């Protein structure tokens, strides 16, 4: 049943809009309409801008939640100490299939994002602005917006602005991946952890934050800290953008003040009245049960207190009639295939964890469960980027949230429910680098002699079982692993490995952004 989210889903508003002001008037705010809706924006010096960010408690909205004012001060301090111009980077690389809030902003309110980025660039004295993007629709919108402002990458301009396109992969949205791509390298973590505020693009101090963060900064600068604080909670003022998908009638992006009951937001999207569980924070987030979802409010503090997380703002309920472990296994296989392949915990640990979860579902018993827990623990805190840690968090949360189902699979014959596939993942045939090709690896067991060479060549998809024979992931071969999968087939000494092609009847490719504008919407509740 897997249905990927459209680039720009329906947009709804709880209360008065801030980030989505004007969405009820036009599908996209060009510069003229943007100024009519939001008004002009006065520049501010660095200290004043940092004080504003601290006054409105602005934290990064990309998942990590780092205080923006602290980051701004760190970049300014480093730039002054080294005597170099800093760089400002907007991270619009939403490579997670369950997130669309930044994509909505970049498509429908690009100038609000640019306002915040240009405000920061002016305050820091930056002469370079970079916007990292993953999708055709966002690139088209931002190119148009830059042209409307007369910004480009031509020499001689006071501020040079350019777009960096990255593959639609989970690891592409990692800060170090985007910085590496901006320097002309692959959109992969460099294998070492560095602070962008000290050394980012071109070695210069770099202020990097996601699109919503810069849009929030622009809103705060226009209306001031006092008025900004009139919306939402006193300790987490303002609004947040949430992407609601999963078992819902209408996937949507919702702008809501902090403090609004989570159950109300779920009802807007047509979620089950009593969900079996709600995945909060996206595929690097945490599951919460129906009782916690009923009690939770839309805020970092409230969700964290109940075992959830706000993360990147993705909220995904599942209904009672699907197997939660089966749903999690689909995501686990995708997370394993998203590995950058540069460190053991990511390249070997995540496929082993996904395989371990598959073993648990397929009757592996207590031994399989214990092995899964050991692998998950071994992955945590040892990766070259945050992908292994986030994935390990997802695995651990799955095991703790669905204990009854886990017991049914470990001790009995399973929970008796099918996996409906309600959590969105890329469709086979999608052209981005990380997406499945539809092809699958298969073994001719009459020929296989257990040499294990295939597991060395493509450990993301094949691991060796306890008997020394290969165990294949129940996942399609991603495009970026196709070459190694073909090499494994060619080098199998027993000629036992093959690649099976997808069925002839393949799902229709999702419509290009812009052709589904009738689905765009705005509403207030």
pLDDT for 427: 64
* CA–CA separation, 360 and 366 (whole Å): 8
pLDDT for 108: 97
SS3 243: strand
Question: Is residue 486 exposed (0-12), middle (13-18) or buried (19+ Cβ within 10 Å)?
Answer: middle
Residue showing tokens 């699958």: 440
* CA–CA separation, 70 and 495 (whole Å): 58
128-136 mean pLDDT: 95
Contact 137, 157 (CB under 8 A): no
* Average predicted confidence (pLDDT) for the chain: 88
> Which numeric CATH code is attached to 324-411?
1.20.1440.230
Q: In the CATH scheme, what architecture does the domain 239-318 have?
A: Roll (3.10)
Distance in Å from the first CA to the final CA of the chain: 30
- The domain locations on the chain are 14-227, 239-318, 324-411, 440-500
Identify which has the larger pLDDT, 463 or 298: 298
Which token pair is 76?
A: 């300014």
pLDDT for 337: 82
Which token pair is 184?
A: 């002309």
Helices 101-108 and 211-228, axial angle in degrees (round to 10)? 80
* CA–CA separation, 103 and 107 (whole Å): 6
pLDDT at 504 over 90: no
pLDDT tens for residues 226-245? 999 999 999 999 999 999 99
Fold topology of 14-227:
Rossmann fold (3.40.50)
Which token pair is 245?
A: 């998908």
pLDDT at 405 over 70: yes
pLDDT tens for residues 412-447? 888 889 999 999 998 654 444 444 456 888 898 889
Among 345, 426, 371, 416, CA closest to 169: 426
Lowest mean pLDDT among 227-231, 294-298, 469-473: 469-473
pLDDT at 351 over 90: no
pLDDT at 186 over 90: no
> Which numeric CATH code is attached to 440-500?
3.30.70.20
128-133 and 160-165 strand pairing: parallel
pLDDT for 516: 39
- pTM recorded for the entire structure: 0.83
* CA–CA separation, 346 and 384 (whole Å): 8
């Amino acid at each position: 049943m897997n249905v990927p989210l459209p680039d720009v889903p329906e947009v709804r508003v709880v209360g008065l809009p801030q980030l989505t002001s004007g969405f009820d008037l036009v599908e996209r705010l060009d510069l003229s309409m943007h100024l009519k809706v939001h008004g002009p924006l006065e520049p501010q010096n660095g200290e004043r801008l940092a004080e504003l960010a601290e006054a409105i408690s602005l934290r990064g909205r990309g998942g990590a939640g780092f205080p923006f004012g602290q980051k701004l001060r760190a970049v300014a301090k480093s730039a002054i100490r080294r005597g170099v111009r800093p760089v400002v980077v907007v991270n619009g690389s939403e490579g997670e299939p369950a997130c669309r809030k930044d994509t909505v902003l970049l498509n429908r309110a690009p100038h609000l994002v640019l306002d915040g980025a240009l405000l920061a660039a002016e305050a820091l004295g930056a002469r370079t602005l970079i916007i990292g993007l993953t999708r055709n629709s966002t690139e088209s919108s931002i190119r148009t917006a830059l042209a409307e402002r007369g910004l480009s990458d031509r020499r001689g301009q006071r501020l040079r602005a350019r777009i960096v396109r990255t593959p639609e992969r989970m690891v592409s949205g990692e800060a170090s991946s985007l910085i590496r791509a901006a320097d002309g390298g692959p959109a992969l973590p460099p294998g070492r952890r560095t602070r962008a505020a000290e050394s980012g693009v071109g070695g210069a101090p770099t202020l990097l934050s996601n699109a919503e963060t810069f849009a929030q900064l622009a809103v705060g600068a226009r209306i001031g800290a006092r008025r900004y604080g009139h919306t939402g909670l006193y300790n987490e003022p303002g609004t947040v953008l949430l992407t609601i998908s999963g078992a819902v009638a209408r996937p949507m992006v919702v702008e809501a003040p902090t403090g609004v009951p989570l159950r109300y937001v779920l009802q807007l999207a047509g979620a089950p009245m009593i969900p079996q569980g709600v995945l909060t924070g996206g595929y690097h987030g945490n599951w919460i049960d129906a009782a916690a979802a009923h009690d939770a409010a839309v805020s970092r503090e409230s969700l964290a207190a109940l075992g959830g997380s706000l993360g990147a703002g993705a909220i995904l309920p599942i209904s009672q009639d699907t197997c939660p472990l089966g749903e999690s296994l689909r995501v686990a296989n995708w997370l394993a295939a998203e590995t950058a392949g540069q460190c053991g915990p990511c390249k070997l640990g995540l496929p082993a964890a996904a395989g371990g979860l598959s073993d648990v579902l397929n009757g592996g018993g207590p031994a399989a469960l214990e092995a899964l827990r050991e692998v998950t623990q071994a992955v945590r805190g040892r990766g070259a980027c945050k992908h292994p840690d986030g994935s390990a968090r997802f695995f651990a949360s799955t095991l703790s949230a669905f204990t009854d189902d886990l017991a049914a699979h470990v001790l009995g014959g399973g929970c008796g429910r099918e996996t409906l596939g309600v959590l969105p993942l890329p469709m086979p045939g999608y052209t981005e680098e990380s997406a499945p090709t539809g092809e699958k690896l298969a073994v001719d067991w009459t020929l296989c002699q257990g040499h294990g060479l295939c597991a060395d060549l493509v450990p993301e998809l094949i691991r060796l079982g306890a008997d020394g024979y290969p165990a294949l992931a129940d996942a399609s071969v991603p495009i970026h692993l196709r070459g190694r999968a073909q090499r494994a087939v060619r080098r199998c000494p027993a000629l036992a490995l093959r690649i099976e092609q997808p069925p002839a009847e393949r799902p229709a490719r999702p419509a290009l952004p812009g052709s589904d504008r009738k689905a765009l919407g705005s509403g207030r509740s």
